[in-house]
Amino acid sequence: MVTATRADSARRLAVFLAVLGLAAGPVPRPGYAAPVPDPGDAAPAPSSASQPSPAGPPSPTAPGDGPGPPAAPAPDPVASRGADLYLRTCASCHGPAGEGSQRGPSLVGVGPASVDFQLSTGRMPVDQETRQPPHRRPAFSAADIRALVAYVDSLGGGGPQIPTVGPGDLREGRELFLANCAACHSATGGGATLTNGLVAPSLDRSTPVQVAEAIRVGPGLMPAFPENVLGPEQVDAVAGYVQHLRGGRLDRGGASLGRLGPITEGLVAWGIGLALLVGVVRWLGGRAGR
């Protein structure tokens, strides 16, 4: 009898926990809700100032005076800091003058948007040469990234500048996103599989500036969208809609289940719904004999 009651209460506890888990909804991953990657960072790149970020108070330190080692006194501390960082962390693959090598492409003329995108999403520097570096915490502070962007730009001009992102129209953003982005990044922004083991990454950590940079630069397999394809207001709209997609704001129906679509829904229907009902039926049938 004792064992029976214990089994009963365990079952009840399992049911209760399952319901609780469902009610709790999606568990926010670290860095999921806060787009500013490093709390010690200075304010995000000045271009994004018009799109206030929802979390992370801007550090009081002045630009150029990041939490890294203090810059050596030099005629242009930013430029020498950039050169120093470049030689230490980038030159081994991209070459001392950004000319590229067998391990990395040339950086001459890639433009500030590309460098800022790769550094601020933590994709560069790579710690291991994978085919597709993932979105991580950036290795450098915002000030160091600015110094590196300026230094790489000085190796050879040209390329798209870091875009300034303003508030965009949500409706237009949704329509543009579905027409241009959803085929690879999924309509949910969760990303999807591409050919040859590559993936279109999830956008749930991308800041508006990073989205705008990616649109202009076209990193990896992504096509670039120059100004004559998507105007600045349209880029603002897409970046704004991506911010709207992030987090759980659009998951109005409850736990998002990873927004992976019917396959996870089917797993939940079997693993929670039907499993629960089969347990109920066993319980009801088991009581019948008593």
Partner 1 sequence: MITRWLSGRLARSLDDRLRVAPVLRRALAKVFPDHWSFMFGEIALYSFVVLVLTGVFLTLFFEPSTADTVYSGAYAPLDGSRTSAAYASTVRLSFDVRAGLLMRQTHHWSALLFVGAIVLHLLRVFFTGAYRRPREINWLIGVTMLALALFNGFTGYSIPDDLLSGTGLRILYSVTQSIPLVGEWLVFLAAGGEFPTAELVPRMFVSHVLLVPAVLAALIAAHLGILLRQKHSQFPGPGRTENNVVGSRFWPSYTVRTLALFAWVLAVAFALGGLAQINPVWIYGPFDPAQAISPAQPDWYVAWGDGALRLFPAVEFRVFGRLVPSPFLPGVVFGGLTFAGLYLWPFLERRRRRRRDRLAHQLLDPPRAHPARIGFGVGVLALFAVLLAAAADDILARILRLPVLHVLSILRVLALALPVSAGVVAYLVARALRAGGGRGIGELTRSDVRSAMRFGSRAGGVSTGVGDPSPVATAEPAAGSHDAARIELWRDPDGLWRWRYRDAVVVLAASQAYRSRPEAERAAATAYGDLPAREVAPSGGRTGEPAAMRERAGRIAGRAGGYLALAAVALWRGRRARRRPPP
For binding to partner 1 (CB under 8 A), which residues are involved?
A: 19, 22-23, 25, 170-171, 173-175, 178-179, 182-184, 186-188, 191-193, 195-197, 199, 241, 244-245, 250-257, 259-263, 265-270, 272-274, 276-278, 280-289
For the bound state, the minimum distance from the C-beta of residue 263 to partner 1, rounded and expressed in Å, comes to 4
Q: Of the two residues 7 and 269, which places its CB atom closer to partner 1 in the complex?
A: 269
Q: Of the two residues 112 and 190, which places its CB atom closer to partner 1 in the complex?
A: 190
Cα distance between residue 64 and residue 4, in whole Å: 68
Q: Token digits for 134?
A: 């993932």
Q: Of the two residues 29 and 287, which places its CB atom closer to partner 1 in the complex?
A: 287
Burial of 130 from C-beta contacts in 10 A (0-12 / 13-18 / 19+): exposed
Q: Of the two residues 97 and 179, which places its CB atom closer to partner 1 in the complex?
A: 179
**Contact yes or no for 168/242 (Cβ under 8 A):** no
For the bound state, the minimum distance from the C-beta of residue 42 to partner 1, rounded and expressed in Å, comes to 32
The dihedrals phi and psi of 192, each to the nearest 5 degrees, come to: -160, 175
Q: Of the two residues 95 and 133, which places its CB atom closer to partner 1 in the complex?
A: 133
Of 190, 173, 189, 187, the residue nearest 230 (C-alpha): 173
For the bound state, the minimum distance from the C-beta of residue 257 to partner 1, rounded and expressed in Å, comes to 6
**Contact yes or no for 246/54 (Cβ under 8 A):** no
Beta-bridge mates of residue 199: 193
For the bound state, the minimum distance from the C-beta of residue 198 to partner 1, rounded and expressed in Å, comes to 8
